[in-house]
Structure formats: C-alpha cells, structure tokens
C-alpha cells in the first residue's frame, strides 16, 4: 500500500510543474503592462522611471529567467509579494484561504450528502415518481451555471424574501450563526450543480450494480435487502461515484473565483480575480499553484480510496 501511495504521489510532481509553466506563460500573454496596471505607473512617469520599476521587479529579464527565479523562490517556500499592495502572498493566503476552504467544505456537504441519498433512492425506485423528480432536478442543476444560480438565489432569498444578506462575511469564530448565513447562498450556488452531477452518476452506478449477477445471487440466498445494498451494490458502485465526487469537489475551487466575487467574500477566488485585472503576476501564479496543489492532493486521496475499496488496484 505504501509503494502504491508513493507511486501515485510521485506523479503529482510533473503535474504541478506543468501547471506552473502554463500559468507563468499564459498570464504574460494577457494584454496590458504589469508595471502600468499593478504598480500604478501613470502617464507622467518618464521612461527611465518605468524602466527602473520594471528592473526592480525583474520584469526586464527574459521570461525563462523570470520563471527560473520565481520557481527557485517557490521551492524555498516564498511565493513572492503582490505588485499592487506589496504584501507577502503567503500572509494573504493565510488570511484568505480559510474563507475559501470553509465555503468549499460547506458546498461539498450540500453537494454530496443529498446527492448520494437521492441517487441511491432513485436507482432503487426506478421509474417511480421519486426517480422522475430526481431526473428533472438533475437536468436543471446541470444546465444552470453557478453564476446564474447565484444571481437567482440573491434575487429570491436576499432581495425579495430578505432571509439572507446579499454580500458580506463574518468570520466563523466571531459569530458562527451569522457566518453560516453569509456563506449559505454562496455554498448553495456551488453545491447544487455538484449535487446534480453526483446524483446522476450515483443513480447510473447503482443501477448498473443492481443488474449484476452477484447481486441476484445474494438476493436468491435470502440476504436482507439492506445487506445486499450495502455490501454488494454500493461497494461495487463506489469507484465511479468517488471519481466523480473527487473531480467535482476539486473543481469547486475554480468556481469560487466567480462566486466569491458575486458575494464579495474575502477568499482566494476573489483575490485572484482582482489580480488578473491588474496583471499582478505573483498573485495569479501563486494562487493558481496553490489551487493546483489542492486539486492534485484530492486526486491522490481518490486514488487511495480506490485501493482501499478494490485491493486489486494496488498492483496496477
């Protein structure tokens, strides 16, 4: 098992390296001058002043040299400083990452728990009212993008009914009830599309498992339906469900960029959104690398769960 985990973990290194190269290159292809936008140089600045600022931030060097220097600092644990604010990116992430993590965890709970229960129920009660209702809900959830869903939720629950605040954030330790009120609408905006996708996959996987020979044999032996479902159906249906859940939960981090901006949450999603607009290279590069790291760690956890469910995969 240890060899399996180490092998999977080793594959994550080239993924992170590739992400860093692509991100570093793409942000520099975006139109606009980082010195003018992020540092705040205006039209009255002389060419000598602009050149001096560009040299101070290392932007006068060739792109490969800039990348090598940045990667060297990252390997030492230094993600750099924001061009716009001058603050350490590590300090900014320490303040903003808990907000995004809390939002992502709440959205994952909203998106997984009901989806698994309803998906299993829809498969067991195939062609029933519950199955048709779940199918309709799935189609709606998959079709509506999260930014549109967020807007509709704000109009209904914040503007019309006034049940929740439209924007704002209170830390969890400061006021837990208000913190939950602030994050519920953003979490629903992220979690409901996840629930729709996961519900669809759960229903399909459980239906496929229900039709297998060993399930019919277990029923013919007189085993209780609950035992057949838990030991023979769900275990065999678990791998595609875990795959979908892992990918979609990791993708929630990408969705926070838009959702945190809509709801004015001080997380890393909104932080990187603002950084893109000002060509704040260190922020975009650092946040993207952190998100990619979280994504690959989730993938590693999914691989470990595979091996725990099906020991045959440990030798793959």
For the record, the structure tokens of 280 come out as: 């704040």
DSSP per-residue letters across the chain: -HHHHHHHHHTHHHHHHHHHHHHHHHHTTSSS-HIIIII---TTS-HHHHHHHHHHTTTTS-HHHHHHHHHHHHHTT---B-TTT--BHHHHHHHHHHHHHHHHHHHHHHHHHHHHHHHHHHHHTTTSHHHHHHHHHHHHHHHS-HHHHHHHHIIIIIIIS--S-SS----TTT-HHHHHHHHHHHHHHHHHHHHHHHHHHHHHHHHHHHTSHHHHHHHHTT--HHHIIIIIIHHHHHHHHHHHHHHHHHHHHHHHHHHHHHTT--SHHHHHHHHHHTT-HHHHHHHHHHHHHHHHHHHHHHHHHHHHH-GGGGG-
Would you write out the chain's pLDDT as a tens digit for each of its 316 residues?
Answer: 677 677 777 778 888 888 889 888 888 877 766 666 655 555 566 677 777 777 877 777 888 898 999 889 888 888 888 887 888 888 888 889 999 999 999 999 998 999 999 988 888 888 888 888 888 888 888 888 888 899 999 999 988 888 888 888 888 888 899 999 999 999 999 999 989 999 989 998 888 888 788 778 877 777 787 788 877 788 778 888 888 888 888 788 888 888 998 998 999 988 988 888 777 888 888 888 888 888 888 888 887 877 777 666 555 5
HEC states along 222-263? CCCHHHHHHHHHHHHHHHHHHHHHHHHHHHHHHHHHHHHHHC
pTM of the prediction?
0.83
Q: Specify the pLDDT at position 35.
A: 66
Contact 119, 206 (CB under 8 A): yes
User: What domains does the chain contain, in order, with CATH numbers?
Assistant: 89-277 (1.10.3720.10)
How many CB atoms sit inside 10 A of residue 58's CB? 12
Length of the chain: 316
Q: What is the pLDDT of residues 203-217, one digit of tens each?
A: 988 888 887 887 788
Q: Specify the pLDDT at position 107.
A: 92
Q: Specify the pLDDT at position 44.
A: 63
Contact 185, 103 (CB under 8 A): no
């Amino acid at each position: 098992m240890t060899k399996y985990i180490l092998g999977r973990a080793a594959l994550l290194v080239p993924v992170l390296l590739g992400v860093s190269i692509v991100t570093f290159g793409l942000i520099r292809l975006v139109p606009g001058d980082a010195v003018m936008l992020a540092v705040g140089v205006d039209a009255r600045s002389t060419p000598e002043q602009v050149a001096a600022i560009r040299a101070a931030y290392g932007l006068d060097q060739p792109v490969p040299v800039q990348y090598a220097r940045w990667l060297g600092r990252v390997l030492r644990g230094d993600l750099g400083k924001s061009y716009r604010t001058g603050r350490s990116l590590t300090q900014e992430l320490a303040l903003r990452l808990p907000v995004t993590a809390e939002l992502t965890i709440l959205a994952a709970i909203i998106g997984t728990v009901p989806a698994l229960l309803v998906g299993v129920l829809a498969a067991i009660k195939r062609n029933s009212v519950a199955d048709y209702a779940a199918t309709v809900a799935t189609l709606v959830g998959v079709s509506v993008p999260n930014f549109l869903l967020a807007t509709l939720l704000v109009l209904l629950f914040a503007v019309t009914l006034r049940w929740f605040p439209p924007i704002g954030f209170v830390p969890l330790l400061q006021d837990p009830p208000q913190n939950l009120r602030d994050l519920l609408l953003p979490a629903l905006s992220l979690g409901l599309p996840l629930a729709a996708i996961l519900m669809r996959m759960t229903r399909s996987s459980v239906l496929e498992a229900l039709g297998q020979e060993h399930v019919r044999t277990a029923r013919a032996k007189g085993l209780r339906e609950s035992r057949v479902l838990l030991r023979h159906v769900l275990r065999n249906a678990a791998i595609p469900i875990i795959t979908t859940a892992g990918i979609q939960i990791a993708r929630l981090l990408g969705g926070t960029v838009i959702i945190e901006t809509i709801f004015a949450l001080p997380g890393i999603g909104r932080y990187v959104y603002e950084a893109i607009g000002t060509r704040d290279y260190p922020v975009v590069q650092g946040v993207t690398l952190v998100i990619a790291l979280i994504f690959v760690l989730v993938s590693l956890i999914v691989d470990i769960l595979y091996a725990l469910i099906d020991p045959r995969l440990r030798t793959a």
